[in-house]
Amino acid sequence: MKKSILLLAVTMCSLMSFSQEQLEINILKSDIKWTADYAFYFNGHNGIVTFKEGYFIKTNEVITGGEFIIDMDTIKNLDIENEEGKEGLVDHLKNEDFFDVKKFPIAKLVISHVKYHDNKHMKIYANLTIKGVTNPVDFQAEVDYEKAQMITKFKIDRTRWNINYNSKEIEGKLKDGIISDAIGFEVKLSL
């Protein structure tokens, strides 16, 4: 009997010390800004895309994981002023040359591990899925506890996700008008 009570007490203590909760993001206050530049020119394009849903996993008062779904149909351009040019670029980004949104309407980022530098700064290891292709990514992030917000900036090599339109790798030669293989993201996640 004493062994049963002791075992129950140890089990209860272990469960209490491993407190985990899911924190839903506020998709109206969270956003992703994207940038894509030309390889040999000093400009490019930028815009936004929005989250469909997402959450952090908090374990013992720190972020340890999460999953975020991006609605690729919401991609918008912010740098072109005339509506016709804006719509033309967005249509091209949504077609098979880039994100093939009809076939792949969502992208997903799943946090697999978080390494803390201090209580506000961390390195996040995750798996990013775009166009049905999943690759590991890692990036630095910062938490603002007063605003209940995490921010990060990072770049990916789009060719790792089979986004090869006007890439420098096409035909093994460089040419005018090629688009940088790097896509930049500035992400704000708010609770």
Q: What is the pLDDT of residues 91-118, one digit of tens each?
A: 989 999 889 999 999 999 999 999 999 9
- C-alpha–C-alpha distance, residues 131 and 162, integer Å: 8
Q: What pTM, to 2 d.p., does this model score?
A: 0.81
Domain hosting 87: range is 19-190
- Residue 14 resides in a domain: no
- Residue 67 resides in a domain: yes
> Residue 24 burial by CB count (10 A; 0-12/13-18/19+): exposed, middle or buried?
exposed
47, pLDDT greater than 70 = yes
Q: How far is CA 12 from CA 7, 59, 108, 115, in A?
A: 9, 17, 35, 28
User: What domain count does the chain have?
Assistant: 1
Of the two residues 92 and 13, the one the predictor is more confident about is 92
Give 113-154 pLDDT, tens digit per residue: 999 999 899 999 999 999 999 999 999 999 988 889 999 999
Give 14-30 pLDDT, tens digit per residue: 545 568 899 999 999 99
**Mean pLDDT score across all residues of the chain:** 85
- Residue 13 resides in a domain: no
13 phi-psi bin (left φ>0, alpha ψ -120 to 50, beta other): alpha
- Residue 143 resides in a domain: yes
Give 159-184 pLDDT, tens digit per residue: 899 888 766 654 555 555 567 788 89
- Residue 3 resides in a domain: no
- C-alpha–C-alpha distance, residues 130 and 9, integer Å: 46
Span between the terminal Cα atoms of the chain, in Å: 46
Grouping H, G, I as helix, E, B as strand and the rest as coil, residue 111 is strand
> pLDDT value at position 56?
94
- Residue 64 resides in a domain: yes
Residue 25 DSSP symbol? -
